[in-house]
Each structure stands twice: as structure tokens, then as C-alpha cells.
Amino acid sequence: MTEMTLSANAITQIEKELEKYPPDRKESAVMAALRIVQDEFRWLSKEIMQEIADLLEMPAIHVYEVATFYSMYEHKDVGQHKICVCTNISCQLCGSKGVLDHLKEKTGIGPGETTADGRITIKEVECLGACGGAPMMQVDKDYFENLTTESIDKILEGLD
């Protein structure tokens, strides 16, 4: 496994984020820093969170608190594509169970699992703020709404 350490590119991006905040409020960039690093490694190790804490001059525990509060941050490696299925109330009423069942039929995995080839991880998540398009799921950075078995098949076929 490659060692997870802040790359020069990540540091440059985080420093750009820091320009948005007063010099004594570096911790304000913590969510952006976590996103930048996760975009590179797909997940966040304790060591990399310590590096983020050092860079932002904040206690590591505060970085860890943010990273564990939000479901978009990963604490173990995930597949090349992450499928987050909303199972909150609107999506549940509109068929999120059917979405998960169909995904399981197609990929062989359920929530919290990754395909053996490391291609896809499925997660069950809370409301993603697209209730009007329920049932919905997020695939990597894109939202897909009003899901049907046919549209799910198309989305899966479109993944590289």
C-alpha cells in the first residue's frame, strides 16, 4: 500500500483554501482539506488527519471529530466508485429498499461492502437533500434521482 502522506498538490490546494479565511482561523478550511485529501486517496487515515491538523494548526482530535461526523468521509479504503443510496424517509417511502435490492442483484454486494475487484462500494446514507427526486443515490460526485431499475442499470453500465 502506498504511504498516505500529504502530496505537494494537496498542500497547494489546501493553501489556496486557506486564503479564504483569516490567518488565525485556519481550522475553517478543515472540511475542504479533508475533501482534497480524500479525492486523492479515497479515504482518510489517522496519520493523514494528523498531517492536516498540523497544517491547519489545530488539534488532531478536532479534525477527527469533523471527519467522523459527516458520512462523506471514509475511514477505510473504498472502491473506485462509491454509490451512496439514501434511505431516509422520502427515499424510503419511494422505494430505496428496492434500489438497494437491485444494486445487490447487479453487483452482489450490499451496504458497507465493496466488490471483490475493488470497483464499487455501496453505502447507505442519510438524506442527501434531494428528497424531491426520491428515490435517489449519489455515485461518486453525481446525483441520480427518480431511480428505476432501468436507470440504475444504465448508471452501472456507464461506470468505467
Buried b (16+ CB within 10 A) or exposed e, 34-53: bbbbbeebeebbeebbebbb
9 vs 146, beta carbon nearer ligand FES: 146
Up-side HSE of residue 99: CA atoms within 13 Å toward CB? 31
11 vs 131, beta carbon nearer ligand FES: 131
Q: For the segment 127-156, give every residue that binds ligand FES (CB under 6 A).
A: 127-131, 134, 136
Residues 6+ apart with CB under 8 A from 102: 149, 152
User: Which residue in this structure is represented by grid cell 494548526?
Assistant: 57
118 vs 129, beta carbon nearer ligand FES: 129
89 vs 159, beta carbon nearer ligand FES: 89
Query: Shortest gap between Cβ of 9 and ligand FES (angstroms)?
Result: 33
Check residue 91 for interaction with ligand FES (CB under 6 A): yes
Among 16-24, 87-95, 103-111, 148-156, the segment contacting ligand FES (CB under 6 A): 87-95
Residues 6+ apart with CB under 8 A from 32: 14, 17
Check residue 11 for interaction with ligand FES (CB under 6 A): no
Contact, 71 vs 125, CB < 8 A? yes
Nearest to 140 by CA among 153, 156, 117: 156
Binding mask 100-129 for ligand FES (x = CB under 6 A): ---------------------------xxx
The residue ranges that bind ligand FES (CB under 6 A) are: 86, 88-91, 127-131, 134, 136
